[in-house]
């Protein structure tokens, strides 16, 4: 159960740029909320916070932290939940290792991350760390399905001020490459359980049976999938695409989600690193293994480990010269696509490339046509179809384009994003079976050593909730509504069997279409090109991918999306924008004391949170605050008060001043609550009268390095000093 003293609103403590922005914005939110009797608390779900909570044994009392993620995980299962969730790091192993080192340097007695555990203590530490890495937060908190769309004010602004789009040409060489067989898509089997069941996963080999996972339990009606990717087929595909890319004269790029798919995708990423440096591994593989090289950690880690081996370094350079040029994360610093698994995240990288006319950045710091390698065919067709559409029709016009809203099935660890505990790199040739307690073999796959086998599931209650959410949304908007489901894919075929009867029973089957992802992509692009709107009703991974793809095309960014999770027990989770570019923002702040993070997503979520609070608890003052937040958000857009990218120009802190001012002015001007109007009238006047002093103090803070006392675990006082440099503003807000 939730704690009895739970604040009205929980604002999450996270990582990187959004957390730095919180140091400036949260005091404003708390000050304004207090006037309506609304308490705003925080819970620490940052990577550093989760590490500290996981290893309390040797920490001092002052250093220890509660497991706030677990606390929130219980809260979101109650009607009282009202959580504003900012984007957190989906920790890759390199990020996790860096955070551990930073905490150790700050005096936290926590163990190293054991790459290859050799003792019981290391094995236990590895298990604790593995529960933290990847996107460990979202599956815990998302006890509801997703409703993501562009806020009306944001969409109107984007149409009135269209962003730059790269030009597409019909003879562009940019393309998507995916496996033609042997991938997760082609090997998937799926079944719906007629009754509650317990299961185990075993590997049968010539030597006998090994239990890969025991104690699995599924309620009746759960859709359970199993599939595998062939390591041999993957390696052959990657080798072939490297050769083809060289012949085509394009950039080679790999697009994965090694953060969210924290078991399978780092392995696939490692195969790509090994394929890219195949001649080097063939000649020096044993020595590299002695040096601790793990291709799954990326080229950056590899290069660091072999830097004192001149023969290996020379072989790497010779290999690079023979390969096609690679898509770059940072051309200036020589950071390649294969440097770090978490650097290239498909849902951000592919839309950006499509927005830029199919161009990616090469080693020469210029844009070029690109071979976009997405090994698995489950979702590659979405990007393939988008590229083909724009080659044929030219770029999208943001000034006239309609919008694609999304309703995503994600509650209770639905689909692939819940597969981490049931994903395995196969140690020997044999057959993997999922066996029910009564002996029924639910799934069976013949596999070879090195193959990647995984199982995922989606429960009946979230599926039914998702369909009903879609019915509500379509009725409210009248938009074209499409279920993105492929009848030729095992999992989707099972969902279709559940979706159709619900639509028919509600008498709305004629309001919905069911299409495979490629066809749905084309239909959605055709719809928004005509200035009309559509709702994409999708599974969990497509929810993630599409809520970047379409917003980046429509709005230039996905950080400004309205993201509402209607929790199944009646609470509300309000998610803010994506954090994919946040590391660069932090780097700029540290070097120049300029934070270009745009808090518009936080503004949108805040307004929804206050409105939800008003409905849930009958607090009409909260409703007035929410309406005024919407007015302030509109003011930010109308007056172009969002942060600039360049030092010396207004940044995130300036936008927070203007947000506070517009919010106070809207509250002072409203007539729904005289007490709030009277309270905020002098605040609004003080903020307006103090404009010159406040903006001057904010401007004076920029242009010199900023000390945060850490990256993953910053010093609160130092961060507050950096993010609240205006004494005038602080005095008014309190």
Residue list for the binding site for Mg(2+): 347, 544, 548
Beta-carbon neighbour count of residue 254 at 10 Å?
29
Residue 371: which of 348, 387, 389 has the closest Cα?
Answer: 387
Axis crossing angle, helix 460-477 with helix 490-505, rounded to the nearest 10:
60
- Binding positions for substrate are 135-142
- Binding positions for NADP(+) are 85-90, 138, 580-581, 585, 596-598, 645
The burial class, CB within 10 Å (0-12 / 13-18 / 19+), for 255 is buried
Whether 566 contacts 466, CB under 8 Å: no
Q: For residues 335 and 333, give the distance between their C-alpha atoms in angstroms, rounded to a whole number.
A: 6
Q: For residues 485 and 543, give the distance between their C-alpha atoms in angstroms, rounded to a whole number.
A: 12
- Binding positions for D-threo-isocitrate are 148, 543
Check residue 648 and give left, alpha or beta (phi > 0: left; psi -120 to 50: alpha).
left
Q: For residues 542 and 385, give the distance between their C-alpha atoms in angstroms, rounded to a whole number.
A: 14
For residue 263, how many C-alpha atoms fall within 13 Å in the half-sphere facing its CB?
24
Check residue 215 and give left, alpha or beta (phi > 0: left; psi -120 to 50: alpha).
left
N-to-C CA span, the chain = 34
* Residue linked to tokens 């700029």: 588
Q: For residues 38 and 622, give the distance between their C-alpha atoms in angstroms, rounded to a whole number.
A: 7
- Give Cβ neighbours of residue 628 (< 8 Å, ≥ 6 apart): 663, 666, 667, 670
Q: For residues 286 and 308, give the distance between their C-alpha atoms in angstroms, rounded to a whole number.
A: 16
Check residue 182 and give left, alpha or beta (phi > 0: left; psi -120 to 50: alpha).
left
Greatest extent of the chain over all pairs of C-alpha atoms, in Å:
81
Q: For residues 165 and 393, give the distance between their C-alpha atoms in angstroms, rounded to a whole number.
A: 14
- For residue 174, CA distances in Å to 27, 33, 113 come to 47, 50, 39
Q: Is the dihedral of CA 365, 367, 371, 372 positive or negative?
A: positive
- Binding positions are 85-90, 135-142, 148, 347, 543-544, 548, 580-581, 585, 596-598, 645
Reported residue count of the chain is 734
- Give Cβ neighbours of residue 462 (< 8 Å, ≥ 6 apart): 145, 409, 410, 411, 412, 414, 568
């Amino acid at each position: 159960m939730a704690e009895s003293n739970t604040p009205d609103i929980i604002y999450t403590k996270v990582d990187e740029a959004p957390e730095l922005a919180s140091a400036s914005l949260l005091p404003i939110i708390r000050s304004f909320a207090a006037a309506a009797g609304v308490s705003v608390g925080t819970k620490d779900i940052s990577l550093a916070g989760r590490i500290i909570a996981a290893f309390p044994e040797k920490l001092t009392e002052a250093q220890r932290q509660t497991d706030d993620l677990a606390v929130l995980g219980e809260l979101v299962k109650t009607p009282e939940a009202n959580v504003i969730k900012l984007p957190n790091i989906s920790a890759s192993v390199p990020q996790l290792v860096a955070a551990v080192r930073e905490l150790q340097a700050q005096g936290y007695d926590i163990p190293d991350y054991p790459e290859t555990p050799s003792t019981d203590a290391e094995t236990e530490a590895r298990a604790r760390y593995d529960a933290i890495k990847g996107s460990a937060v979202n599956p815990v908190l998302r006890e509801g399905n997703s409703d993501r769309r562009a806020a009306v004010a944001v969409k109107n602004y984007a149409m009135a001020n269209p962003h730059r789009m790269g030009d597409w040409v019909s003879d562009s060489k940019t393309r998507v490459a995916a496996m033609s067989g042997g991938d997760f898509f082609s090997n998937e089997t799926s079944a719906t359980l007629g009754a509650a069941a317990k299961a185990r996963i075993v590997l049968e080999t010539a030597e006998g049976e090994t239990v890969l996972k025991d104690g699995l339990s599924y309620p009746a009606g759960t859709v359970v999938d199993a599939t595998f990717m062939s390591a041999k087929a993957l390696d052959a595909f990657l080798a072939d695409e490297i050769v083809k890319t060289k012949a085509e004269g394009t950039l080679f790029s790999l697009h994965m989600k090694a953060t969210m798919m924290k078991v399978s995708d780092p392995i696939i990423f490692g195969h790509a690193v090994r394929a890219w440096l195949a001649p080097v591994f063939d000649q020096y593989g044993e020595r590299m293994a002695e040096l601790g090289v793990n291709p799954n950690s990326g080229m950056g880690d590899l290069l660091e480990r072999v830097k004192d081996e001149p023969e290996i370094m020379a072989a790497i350079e010779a290999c690079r010269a023979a390969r096609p040029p690679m898509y770059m994360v940072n051309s200036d610093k020589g950071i390649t696509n294969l440097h770090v698994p978490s650097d290239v995240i498909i849902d951000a990288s592919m839309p950006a490339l499509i927005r830029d006319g199919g161009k990616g950045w090469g080693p020469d710091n210029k844009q070029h046509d690109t071979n976009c390698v997405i090994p698995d065919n489950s979702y590659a067709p979405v990007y393939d179809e988008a590229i083909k559409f724009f080659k044929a029709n030219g770029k999208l016009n943001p000034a006239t384009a309609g919008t694609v809203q999304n309703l995503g099935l994600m509650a209770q660890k639905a689909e692939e994003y819940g597969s981490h505990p049931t994903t395995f790199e196969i140690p020997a040739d044999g057959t993997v079976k999922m066996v029910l307690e009564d002996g029924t073999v639910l799934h069976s796959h013949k596999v070879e050593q090195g193959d990647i086998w995984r199982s995922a599931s989606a429960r009946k209650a979230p599926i039914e909730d998702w369909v009903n959410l879609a019915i509500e949304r379509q009725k409210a908007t009248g938009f074209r509504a499409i279920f993105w489901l492929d009848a030729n894919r095992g999992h989707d075929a099972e969902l279709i069997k559940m979706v159709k009867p619900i639509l028919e029973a509600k008498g709305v089957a004629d309001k919905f279409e069911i299409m495979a992802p490629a066809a749905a992509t084309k239909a959605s692009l055709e719809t928004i090109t005509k200035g009309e709107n559509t709702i994409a009703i999708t599974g969990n991974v497509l929810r993630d991918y599409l809520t970047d793809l379409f917003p980046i095309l429509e709005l230039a960014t996905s950080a400004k999306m309205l993201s509402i999770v209607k929790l199944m027990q009646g609470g509300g989770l309000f998610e803010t924008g994506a954090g994919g570019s946040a590391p660069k923002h932090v780097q700029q702040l540290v070097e120049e004391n300029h934070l270009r993070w745009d808090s518009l997503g936080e503004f949108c979520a805040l307004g929804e949170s206050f409105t939800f609070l008003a409905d849930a608890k009958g607090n009409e003052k909260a409703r007035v605050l929410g309406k005024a937040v919407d007015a302030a958000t509109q003011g930010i857009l109308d007056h172009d008060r969002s942060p600039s990218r360049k030092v010396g120009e207004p940044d995130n802190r300036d936008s927070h001043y203007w947000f506070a001012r517009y919010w106070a002015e809207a509250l002072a001007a409203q007539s729904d609550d005289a007490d709030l109007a009277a309270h905020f009238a002098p605040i609004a006047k003080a903020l307006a009268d103090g404009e010159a002093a406040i903006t001057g103090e904010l401007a004076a803070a920029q242009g010199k390095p900023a000390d945060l006392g850490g990256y993953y675990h910053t010093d609160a006082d130092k961060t507050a000093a950096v993010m609240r440099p205006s004494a005038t503003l602080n005095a008014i807000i309190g």
